[in-house]
Amino acid sequence: MSTSSPRKDPADPRLRITVRRGDITVQDTDAIVNAANSALAGGGGVDGAIHAAAGPELSAACRELRRTVLPRGLPVGQAVATTGGRLPARWVIHTVGPNRHAGQTDPALLASCFTSSLDVAAELGAHSVAFPAVSAGIFGWDVEEVARIAVDAVRGWRAAPQTGEATPAQATPRQDDVGIAEVRFVLFGAAEESAFRRAAGE
């Protein structure tokens, strides 16, 4: 497993960006982000691995969200939190990435996956969040593009004002004291890790 030391982001000295290769299901962050499907039903890749490791508590929480606040599913680019079940992380934040094969090619939709997830993490009071390479792989986005969009989105997250009303899958407006100190990108393969290191300037 390859890791990098946490480094403060030049755009926000309070925020550290970490890039490492490994298994997102074993991260000791307060929250991990799941590259989910709209139905929150589990699937393959990162989604399946998280559901398998978290156990039945996670599936039950997802079913309850579908029954109550998300009867039509979670929209692309938005995020919602559940318990972490049996994971080391306290929370799982589910976000639905755009599928390039389905014609979802707007970079803003992909960026929203990261910023919406951070909004939710801030509302929860999380201090550290681990992300996978959302929309890379079977959703058809090039990992270099995903890495660039992801890092730019995280770096711009605090500075950008939030407008509009919060939805059930979003959080309250950002505050200076939201407390997120580390964003960790956890990548499965060497190519993904290298792409995110380049995007982060390592």
**Which residues 6+ apart lie within 8 Å of 40 measured at CB?**
62, 63, 65, 66, 70, 73, 74, 80, 94
Annotated active-site residue 106? The verdict is no
What is the distance in angstroms between the CA of the first residue and the CA of the last residue of the chain?
A: 17
**Which residues 6+ apart lie within 8 Å of 133 measured at CB?**
35, 143, 146, 147, 150, 185, 187, 188, 192, 195, 196
Contact of 120 with 80, CB cutoff 8 Å: yes
C-alpha–C-alpha distance, residues 185 and 22, integer Å = 10
Left (φ > 0), alpha (ψ -120 to 50) or beta: where does 40 sit?
left
Strands of 57-125 (E only): list them.
Answer: 79-83, 91-96
Which one of 47, 119, 152, 177 is the catalytic residue? 47
Catalytic residues: 47
